[in-house]
Amino acid sequence: MGPVHGERDEGARVVVTLCKPAVAVPEYVITMEETLDLARARHADHPQLPLALRLIGNTGVTRRHIVQPIEETLKHPGFQERNALYEAEAKARVPAVVKEALANAKLTPADIDMIVYVSCTGFMMPSLTAWMINTMGFPSHTRQVPIAQLGCAGGGAAVNRAHDFCTAYPDANVLIVACEFCSLCYQPTDLEVGTLLSNGLFGDAVASAVVRGRGGTGIRLERNNSYLVPGTEDWIAYSVRATGFHFLLDKRVPGTMEPLAPALRELAGEHGWDAGDLDFYIIHAGGPRILDDLSRFLEVPPEDFRFSRATLTEYGNIASAVVLDAVRRLFEEGGLAEGARGILAGFGPGITAEMCLGRWTNGDSAPEPRLDTRRIVGYSPRHAAPVRSVA
Say which residues have a Cβ less than 8 Å from residue 128's Cβ, sequence separation at least 6: 87, 90, 91, 94, 117, 119, 146, 177, 179
Cα separation, 258 vs 274, in Å, equals 17
The C-alpha torsion from 7 through 12 and 13 to 18, rounded to 10°, is -100
Say which residues have a Cβ less than 8 Å from residue 34's Cβ, sequence separation at least 6: 70
| Kind and range of the H or E run holding 210 | strand 204-212
Residue 146 to residues 198, 204, 212: CA-CA distances in angstroms? Answer: 25, 19, 19
Residue 178, strand partner residues: 118, 207
Say which residues have a Cβ less than 8 Å from residue 249's Cβ, sequence separation at least 6: 192, 194, 195, 197, 198, 235, 236
What is the chain's length?
A: 391
The residue from 19, 152, 179, 356 that is catalytic is 152
In the annotation, is 185 catalytic? no
For 31, list phi and psi in degrees, rounded to 5: -90, 170
Please state whether beta strands 218-232 and 16-18 pair in parallel, antiparallel, or not at all (unpaired): antiparallel
Q: Please, what's the largest Cα pairwise distance for the chain?
A: 67
Positions marked active-site? 152
